[in-house]
Structure 1
Amino acid sequence: MGYVTTKDGVEIFYKDWGPKDAQVICFHHGWPLSSDDWDAQMLFFLHKGFRVVAHDRRGHGRSSQVWDGHDMDHYADDAAAVVNHLNLKDAVHIGHSTGGGEVVHYIARHGEDRVSKAVMISSVPPLMVKTENNPGGLPKDVFDDMQAQLAANRAQFYYDVPAGPFYGYNRPNAKPSDGVIWNWWRQGMMGSAKAHYDGIVAFSQTDFTDDLKKITVPVLVMHGDDDQIVPYEDSGPLSAKLLKNGTLKTYPGFPHGMPTANADTINADLLAFIEG
């Protein structure tokens, strides 16, 4: 574990586990979490002989709680800083939710020289907010309300999200895990309220359409059709169509947080894609 300092002086925390000469997988976490959200994947792939790297986005987890730069350009550049610092080559980049947008923007902005494949899990592209060109998106009021709840009582908001829609624990016959809920809460509360507040705009209003069109490496798009955070119809299928070499894999009944809630299935499919 260590830190890399970005060009604008931000300390980005990262984990780097496994043999240095092994195939490397880079993980990009969702909002408002940290690299800890990848525990189930990082341990799985470490035991399979891979090198696994994950960082905390600026303002999240153990990275610097700076007041600015909470936008996709900075997120992508911070990811590049980690990749370049560790001199990672032929990496597979896997992003969940906001992290999927970060992966797409990183590849489009910094090129494919160091990238072999990519995976978008429950990811925000092409565009979450409703616009004239994106009529299936969510109304801006949805994201304004998220900011209002965060500002009013972040601790309660960060309990309600994982206890309800994030893992599908609000569905009939769901079996909520207190550990999963409180681990989400712990990760969220480690980060900066300012970073998270601004991050809502970053993940909801960034249009990744042109980014997706630029990417030529193989990309696996994984999305559950019961995703209550990033609705399926306006995300996964649209992203897969925009990618030159994209493959959509749909998971009936799976929630937004499927890397944790359905880790065995997701890990097996990730392994098959990486080794395929």
Structure 2
Amino acid sequence: MGTITVKDGTQIFYKSWGEGQPIMFHHGWPLSGDDWDTQMMFFAAEGFRVVAHDRRGHGRSSPSATGNDMDSYAADVAAVAAQLGLENAVHVGHSTGGGEVARYVARYGGNGRVAKAVLIGAIPPVLMKTAANPDGVPAAVIDGIRAAVAGNRAQFYRDFPSGPFYGYNRPGAVPSQAVIDNWFRQGMTGDIKAQYDCITAFSETDFTADLKAIEQPVLVLHGEDDQIAPIAGTAARAVKLLRRGTLKSYPGYPHGMATTHADVINADILAFIRQ
């Protein structure tokens, strides 16, 4: 574990252990690198070096009143990767972290730094509904998230994982209170201003050019019952923009499927890395 101070003085927390080919994990909003605990334990046991960072203003990274945008997020990742000497790495991103991966790989992934990428329930090419993206999430929904975070972040961070994030609002679902509590813990550790600003970053950033620029193989994994980043407006469109993209979807799986179905997702990522 350690920190790196990037150009604007923000401290980025990261953890890294193991040896072998590196896998760097990029978390979703408003969480931290801890959301990848299951994956890091699994892949470390498989002989990989595993790395996870806390995005600026999230988790144990320092609060950031500025720079809460995808360009800065990608630059922060580049700084961490350089500090740790990551080469031939696999970058795995969930949700907002998937957008971060797309921008990082497109801008900084050359010269042998990145071997492959994995997008899980990811936001690219653009999350918000527009005339060009009719299957996106309506602006009113995004505005509702903003209002909930600004008005009563703690309550929203209870409600969100208890409901659509993990599909616990579906008939027959059996919620895990431990999973909900862990989501809440991670969210409340971060800085509200940075998390609030990140809502714009994850909803409005257009990754079309990034996806088109990526030369490495990319595995796109998405739950068909993803209520946060519906598959029709995200993964189904993203894979068509990638040069070497492969889409695998999962009937009934939710947005947080890397947690609820970690055994399946981990095995599929491992197969992709080793093929």
Indicate the TM-score class for this superposition, using the shorter chain for normalisation.
Answer: over 0.9
| Alignment partners' CA distance in 2, 1:2 and 1:228 | 35
8 Å contact from structure 1 (residues 104, 212) kept in 2 = yes
| Alignment partners' CA distance in 1, 2:46 and 2:268 | 14
Shift of 1:237: 1.1
Q: Which runs of 5+ in 2 are unaligned?
A: none
The residue aligned with 2:72 is: 74
Q: What CA deviation, in whole Å up to 9, does each residue of 1:115-153 have, x standing for no partner?
A: 000000000000011122212212211111100001111
The residue aligned with 2:49 is: 51
The residue aligned with 2:38 is: 40
2:17 corresponds to 1:17: yes
Which residues in structure 2 correspond to 1:174-213 (within 5 Å)?
Answer: 174-213=173-212
| Alignment partners' CA distance in 2, 1:89 and 1:111 | 9
SS in structure 2 at match of 1:265: helix
TM-score under structure 2 normalisation? 0.99
SS in structure 2 at match of 1:70: coil
The residue aligned with 2:29 is: 31
- What CA RMSD, in Å, does the superposition of the two structures yield over aligned residues? 0.7
| Alignment partners' CA distance in 1, 2:2 and 2:271 | 30
TM-score under structure 1 normalisation? 0.98
8 Å contact from structure 2 (residues 137, 229) kept in 1 = no
Which residues in structure 2 correspond to 1:107-186 (within 5 Å)?
Answer: 107-113=105-111, 114-186=113-185
2:249 corresponds to 1:255: no
The residue aligned with 1:4 is: 4
8 Å contact from structure 1 (residues 112, 217) kept in 2 = no
| Alignment partners' CA distance in 2, 1:139 and 1:243 | 25
The residue aligned with 1:99 is: 97
| Alignment partners' CA distance in 1, 2:134 and 2:217 | 28
The residue aligned with 1:245 is: 244
8 Å contact from structure 2 (residues 129, 135) kept in 1 = yes
Which amino acid is 2:28 matched to?
A: G
Give the percent of matched residue pairs that are identical in Structure 1 and Structure 2.
63
Q: What CA deviation, in whole Å up to 9, does each residue of 1:202-230 have, x standing for no partner?
A: 00000000100000100000000000100
Which amino acid is 2:229 matched to?
A: V
| Alignment partners' CA distance in 2, 1:251 and 1:139 | 24
Which amino acid is 1:62 matched to?
A: R
| Alignment partners' CA distance in 2, 1:173 and 1:141 | 29
| Alignment partners' CA distance in 1, 2:210 and 2:183 | 29
Q: Which runs of 5+ in 1 are unaligned?
A: none
